Structure 1
Amino acid sequence: MSNIKDSYVFVESKSQDQTCIGIKGGKFAGVIYKYGKVSLGEETEDGHMPFKFEFDIVDNNSVPREEFGNDWIDLIGDILVDIMEEQYGESDNRENYS
């Protein structure tokens, strides 16, 4: 999946008080998780601002725990950036058209 938007879907459950994320393909297909605390780190020398985030896996879809390594963190980090950019963009659009 080349576009990050194609790799996830929002999942809502009556038993959850938060919208979760479902992975649509690849080795993590069917895994459902939710984000916890998200925070920005200190700006690095090269001008990047890394962020830290917590997450909970709601349903691992039988993917073994040892499979959730750096590629998992990279994937859900990319998804989080996409969600944040989408929300930031929508916020800007509302301000511009109000």
Structure 2
Amino acid sequence: MHKSKSKSKSKKNYVKGWKNEKPNQSEKTIMFNNCGNKCFLGPNKSFPICTKNTCDINKKGVYSAYMRAREFQTIKGTRKYSEIAKKADSILRKI
């Protein structure tokens, strides 16, 4: 008799699909010129949170920026990433 496999109880992937919605490097430059710092949490066009070709904040982008900032915070231990994580957390609570 075979045991049926049950689905693993894992956390839902909230950022699935962000890979296709995030801006590439040239789109980041255009977005920065059109939208300004609104679409970026970090300095120099880093940590984008808006969907490409728009100025609309995307929840997947904000959550992705939060996860990356927390990861870098533990690896590099700099204050910059904790500030980015705090910004992303406050935006997520508002959305």
In our comparison, the structure showing a higher alpha carbon Rg is 2
| TM-score for both structures, normalised by structure 2 | 0.33
| Structure with greater helix share of residues | 2
Q: Which one scores higher on RCO, CA 8 angstroms, separation ≥ 6?
A: 2
Q: TM-score, normalised by structure 1?
A: 0.32
